[in-house]
Structure 1
Amino acid sequence: MAKEFKIQIPQDIVRNPEINSKSFVLLAKLIQQYYRQKSDERNLTFTIKNYKMLLNFTNITDRRTFSDCLRILNEKGLIKSIVKPLPRNGELTVGLSPEVIPELNKDKEQVFTQFEYWILNMSVIEEIGHTGVRIMYYIMSWINYKKVGKDHCYASVVRMSKDLGIAEKTFIQYIKQLEKLKFISVKRFDNYSSYKDDKNGNENLLLDRWNNHYFLEQKNIRKFVDLEGK
């Protein structure tokens, strides 16, 4: 079976709380648009013939939100400045930073998080929202299937919600939704306390905290996309 195209995003963008989830998904879509150019004609600056269709596929409902997302990406140096106001004829020229393209990024230590293209399918975005897609990428950013024991994300809820720039309660709600859809599975651990005497016979508290383990169920996501497309 041929390998499916994967959309790669720098790990420090995946884990950047200053980039909201809508802007993150828009960036992923723009990277996808870049690779839709002919391989021998790819240019970081390209024109989207109908950006309103891009809004639709990204599930961004209005031009103001779209403009805000573009502004955030521009402020972070991920895209070049955009003409304001947005053109009404539907055409939009976008310039991506080489930082977001693996083969053009000059930082050899930069790690990219990659996910199959169908994670950005409109049906998935509509079902789990921009934050849900971002969380999926975030979980993937902790995974390395080539290494034993690295097939899951083990970061704490505190760490993950902080990296994503969302409240812990919101994060937990999304995790429950993703579990219900069987897009992820979670192996839960209880926190527990243990005690140990020091060399002077004094009892000291040792807190052993085990974080949950989050596994991506990619086959189920693909199955969902295939069913929604029928």
Structure 2
Amino acid sequence: MADSSVETLKTAVQALYRVHAVEGPPGENGLRTVWHLCPDGAELLSLVDSDGRVQRQELTLLEDHYIWASGQGVRTGSLERSGGGNRAAPAVVVKADPQLVPQRLLRAAMAMGTYTGQDRYILHMQRVLALAREGLEMAEGVTLFHGAQRPSEPTLPAVPPAEAPAPAPVQLAFGKPLPDEVPPPVVRKSEGLVMLAVLALGVLVGLGMLVLILLG
């Protein structure tokens, strides 16, 4: 089995973007193939629609294999070679991983991250692997966060809300009014009788003076 360390994958990526891509005619599904192939164990196959949008890509870096399809994300796998004892070239079979292998994905993302060229198909695969790596790191962070157990916190008993106290009645200190309060006038019965007598006396005096004036 070939060495699949990050450094050897970087070497394969550097060889990949030095080759000239071969474009094929559109197939029955309307997609055309763009094929990057180098003799150092790197291969990139892209399927592109009539508008130039990439719909599917398959990347091979030595013994590691990666498949991306629009709307499906990235899947990892490996290459298995058979018929090594025959003179004919051994058959190569892609064996898909039952589930995404994080280490395999991280190796490819790091290796493709060294590409600084302008080939739009290699850049697309570079971006796909970078996004998949970010999603994987976020998912692992969430898993670790939920896996950690926090110390249990005591639960306080529920306290019913306190009722608002009724307003206390205002009491006058020693029967005196409050500073802002004006007491109503107090009228006593004896004072009322005196006022009536004074009024009657005044009327009588007035009548007497009026008689004197008329007689005089």
- Higher relative helix content: 1
What is the TM-score with the length of structure 2 in the denominator?
0.25
Q: Normalising by structure 1, what TM-score? A: 0.24
